[in-house]
Amino acid sequence: MKYIIESILFLLSITMSQNSIWAYQNTIPEHTDSLALDPSIRYGHLPNGLTYYIKDVKDVSKKVEMRLYVKVGSFYQGPEELEFAHTLEHLAFKCAKVFPFNLLNAPSDFLSGLGIRDKDIQAHTWFTSTWYNIKNIPSDSMKTIDIGLLWFSNLTNLNLTNKVINKERKVLEQETIYRMGNNLESYFLKTRLNSLLNPCDYDMSDFFGNNKNYSPESLIGFYKRWYRPDRMGIVIVGDIADVHAVEKQIKKHFLGVKAHQIAEQWSDCRLKYLDSPKRFVILNRDQNKIVGDKHVALSFYKRNRDIMLHRQGWKGLQSELVWNILNRIINYRFKRVSKSYKSSFSASYYPPRQFSPASEIRIETTEGQEQEAIGKVVQILKNLKNMGLTSEEWEQAKAEEMTSLEPVDTKSYYLEHIANHFLYEQALPANRTIRLQRWLSQLSVEEFNALCRKHIAGIPDDIGIIAPAGKSYTEADVHAWINQALEEEILPLPVPKVPAQLMSKKRLSSFRKVGYTDLGTIASGAREFMLDNGVRIVLDTTSSNKSKVSLHGFNTEGAACFREKDYFSAINAPGIVKNAGVGPMDKFALYRFLEKTGVWQGTGPYIDYGESGIRGKSAIEDLEYMLQLVYLYFTHPRKNMEAFEDWRQNEIERHLNPAYSIISEDFDILMGRFLGDHTKIPQGTKRLHGMTKTDMDTAYKIYRKLFGNASDFTFLLSGGFSINEALPLLQKYLGNLPNNSYKLSCSSKQNMTYALPKGPLYKEFHARKIDASYTMRSVRYSLCYLAKTEGQLDWKEQIKLMVLGEYMNSKIKELRTSHGAALYTMRAFTFFQKENYELRMSMDCIPEELGMLRKLCKEMIEEVKNGTFNQAQIEMVLNSGNLKIPQSTNYHYYRYKEPLVKMVDVEHYVRSLTPKDIREAAQKYLKDENLMEFVFRDNIISP
């Protein structure tokens, strides 16, 4: 691929005017900010308006990062231009005239010749900007910087045609569908609310119609208005050998770019917002058909013009720092007040920013509790405004902020603050962090409290509410609730008690001294011990993380040991227990205690289909606290009906506002259940429906049975601890775990093996059969090769299958880039499940393209089976360093009796592989009899 790079450079050389390069004088215009820009940054403007920043930062990575910022984002769009800025971000990878390929799928040898990978080229669209990014450039590679600048310069003159624009419409649709999943209506409702509150935001409800019907000419017109050199900034930061040479390259590429004769200025919607009338908006959601959704979301905004006025001087930097501290303090107090099982209230505070000149308070509550929730928020703010912080609180808050201020001379520091300098004209003086730390260290609690009184507002300027169907409020009602709360007496903020200890001295003194047997060192280098109560412990001190300890205790019995009707009680038991707490401490008291330790907040039990156990992490010095917590989860799980009801409500809300793709989860479960695999613990809709089948008493009975016998458990510990120091603690806490007389016997019931149907097979699942409210705008498709292995799969065979999966993942992108499919998300991978293997090609597509994609996926498989490889792609996979043997761990050794494999042997084997080996693996495993195709869609259409 060397010829491609050379061809591009040659083309560049004959199209660039040397006269324009040398005509430019090496003078940097005087900077006009109130504070001078850090002089260590090479900064300049070209005659056409382009701005550039170059900063040499030496660090261990020896890498350079380069970005192009364009001052255009979603705030620049009109109602008929929804997602135009985002669409141009997509097209920038496809329409660069000098590049003979789509940069989303650049040839592997082209990228390797530049010393980067495809994942190092990225782009993002924000509110006021779009930025293009090339990361991990080798510090000595001027060639890569040169090619990157060539691409950036191409963005000023993209080859936008009707054909390429029309193709990208469906890709944008698919991205929106994929990101929002089954939550599109909620997303559209929020955008409609925001658009009615702020002229910068637009209602996205008609996105699909607008995306389908806008004219290509309107998008091209948008592009020409904003993709201009005077709205662009180049930032290059990292280990730069020759700053002058990089500056010269920028001039070479951009001096020939013509400035626009008519430079259209942005009518700043932020200023329109600040000058507009105050707003009160209420919208109602459709009644949720799964559960009665009584959730109410309120947003209060207080406009702040100062955040934009003072951005160029010290006052602006100091103000931002104060806002950061207030943000932390207010959210901490909101969280503290919401820590109650009876609370249906949560609140979040967002300070004003350059892109959003208003502070915002979001309140989440339930119908009927709105006034109480508003009263809590007002009381917290009123308390802080009038009573301020104590000296102790201020010193703690100050120390936290001092720590969070990022040190100078890191790439991330300069990338963040140069962006703010270019996009928002925010001051970036030399030694910014040091000077702010000095100012903050001298700020007294009295001075900070005075700033609090100035910054914390009373009545909000704008109010937005999303309410259940049929629920109505008036502006007068909400203002009356706020005023009533303001008039109430200021009460001291209750300070919840922090438990002094996890376990009492009396209980600790009752522990007996437990002996052990040293069973020696295993192949991984870990030491194995058997405690006298039957607990096996395996201590691995070879971990690279010397400051942490990771713990994993497990047994080989799980939810499969119990009746089918109790399945959800079993898998939900750990969540119910964690929500209740341990011993006399509810989860809130436990959280307050752990907050002052280095014990990972996620430490706790789990129950899977064929296994149960506990996982945790802690700092080395807090290992004893983690072991105490493990002991309490085994022996004293707290049981409380109020906590159970709170857990149930939290699970319902987690489904209504998911942080994961419900559609993906549902599809995985449907495929697994069809094949007879019940081992995957369901999330998504099936989990939600399981709420009604979960009984608290049954859950606790199951939990006690699974965690009742210490001798069933093996505990794996890894980290930088000393065995001599850790072993006595393990004897003390794990050695005193009890063994009950009850013994589970369910090995046959939880056998994970199951018969597979014979392929080729095609199976459709339909969303409406899951739930009447389920809607899908696209189709999920998975092509799978799934089969049993002949005995335990050899690790070398696993490696070959993993290489095959990685290679197919690099190939699958061609469906979008070479075949023009309207795909946003597509991937291929291989995974193993005991005696099964699977290679899967998975995507989210439009219904009209399903037939084409099925055919293309099968053709790709046939190419590999026939030995038709892209040599550069296969070499990239083999040299990636990502090929591990997940089964080759202490866990798999003890859990499944799988042999340990040394990484050096794995690396040697990977280096020995050839395309012929991968072709033979494809022929062996990718047989028609193993082929299964699965489709998840709204309605029934014959294949």
HEC readout, 214-282? CCHHHHHHHHHHHCCHHHEEEEEEECCCCHHHHHHHHHHHHCCCCCCCCCCCCCCHHHHHHHCCCCEEE
CA-CA distance, 103 to 100, in Å (whole number)? Answer: 9
Which uninterrupted H or E stretch holds 516?
A: strand 516-521
- Residue 66: pLDDT above 90? yes
Q: How far is CA 172 from CA 166, 816, 847, in A?
A: 11, 12, 15
- Residue 11: pLDDT above 60? no
pLDDT at 791: 65
Q: What share of the chain is helix, strand, coil (3-state, %, to 5)?
A: 45, 15, 35
326-383 pLDDT, tens digit each: 999 999 999 988 888 877 789 999 999 999 999 999 999 989 999 999 999 999 999 9
657: confidence class by pLDDT, cuts 50, 70, 90: confident
- Residue 391: pLDDT above 70? yes
Closest-CA residue to 69 (of 86, 51, 49): 51
pLDDT at 508: 93
- Residue 835: pLDDT above 80? no
pLDDT at 788: 82
DSSP string, 577-592: HHHH-BTTB-HHHHHH
Higher pLDDT, 630 or 344: 630
549: confidence class by pLDDT, cuts 50, 70, 90: very high
- E-strand spans in 473-515? none
Q: What is the layout of strands, in order, in the sheet containing 462-467?
A: 280-284, 462-467, 295-303, 358-366, 346-350
Residue type, 730: L
Helix (H, G, I), strand (E, B) or coil at 39: coil
- Residue 245: pLDDT above 70? yes
233 token code pair? 């900034």
Q: Which of 243-257, 452-466, 480-494 has the highest mean pLDDT?
A: 243-257
pLDDT at 753: 64
Give the CA-trace dihedral at 195, 201, 203, 204, to 10 degrees: -150
- Residue 324: pLDDT above 90? yes
pLDDT at 669: 92
Question: Could you tell me if 611 and 557 are in contact, meaning their C-beta atoms sit under 8 angstroms apart?
Answer: yes
pLDDT at 110: 85
697: confidence class by pLDDT, cuts 50, 70, 90: very high
Higher pLDDT, 890 or 10: 890
- Residue 503: pLDDT above 60? yes
83-124 pLDDT, tens digit each: 999 999 999 999 998 887 878 777 777 888 888 888 899 999
Say whether the peptide bond before residue 605 is cis (omega within 30 degrees of 0). no
10: confidence class by pLDDT, cuts 50, 70, 90: very low
Return phi, psi of residue 489, to 5°. -60, 140
Higher pLDDT, 620 or 662: 620
Alpha helices in 740-849 (DSSP H): 795-812, 814-817
Higher pLDDT, 9 or 540: 540
Kindly report the number of other CB atoms within 10 A of residue 334's CB atom. Answer: 21
pLDDT at 60: 81
Report the chain's mean pLDDT, rounded to a whole number: 89
DSSP string, 153-189: HHGGG----HHHHHHHHHHHHHHHHHHHGGGHHHHHH
Which range among 130-134, 425-429, 542-546 shows the weakest confidence by mean pLDDT?
542-546
The β-bridge partners of 718 are 540, 550
| Beta-carbon contacts of residue 315 (< 8 Å; ≥ 6 apart) | none
264-314 pLDDT, tens digit each: 788 999 999 999 999 999 999 876 544 457 889 999 999 999 888 888 899
- Residue 15: pLDDT above 50? no
Q: Please report where in the chains the tokens 């959210």 appear, as a residue.
A: 331
Q: How far is CA 195 from CA 190, 471, 479, 611, in A?
A: 9, 21, 22, 49
pLDDT at 535: 97
17: confidence class by pLDDT, cuts 50, 70, 90: very low
Give the CA-trace dihedral at 161, 166, 167, 172, to 10 degrees: 120
The β-bridge partners of 281 are 464
pLDDT at 876: 81
Question: Could you tell me if 213 and 169 are in contact, meaning their C-beta atoms sit under 8 angstroms apart?
Answer: no
- Residue 658: pLDDT above 90? no
Per-residue b/e over 200-230, b at no fewer than 16 CB within 10 Å?
Answer: bbbbbbbbbebbeebeeeebbebbebbbbbe
742-801 pLDDT, tens digit each: 777 775 555 556 678 998 999 999 988 877 667 788 999 999 999 887 766 688 888 899
213: confidence class by pLDDT, cuts 50, 70, 90: very high
Question: Could you tell me if 805 and 739 are in contact, meaning their C-beta atoms sit under 8 angstroms apart?
Answer: no
Question: How many percent of the chain have pLDDT more than 90?
Answer: 66
pLDDT at 409: 82
Give the CA-trace dihedral at 585, 586, 587, 593, to 10 degrees: -30
Closest-CA residue to 142 (of 9, 335, 321): 9
Q: What is the layout of strands, in order, in the sheet containing 536-540?
A: 516-521, 527-531, 536-540, 714-719, 548-555, 612-619, 604-607
pLDDT at 743: 76
pLDDT at 24: 37
Closest-CA residue to 276 (of 460, 462, 128): 462
Q: Which of 344-348, 579-583, 650-654 has the highest mean pLDDT?
A: 579-583
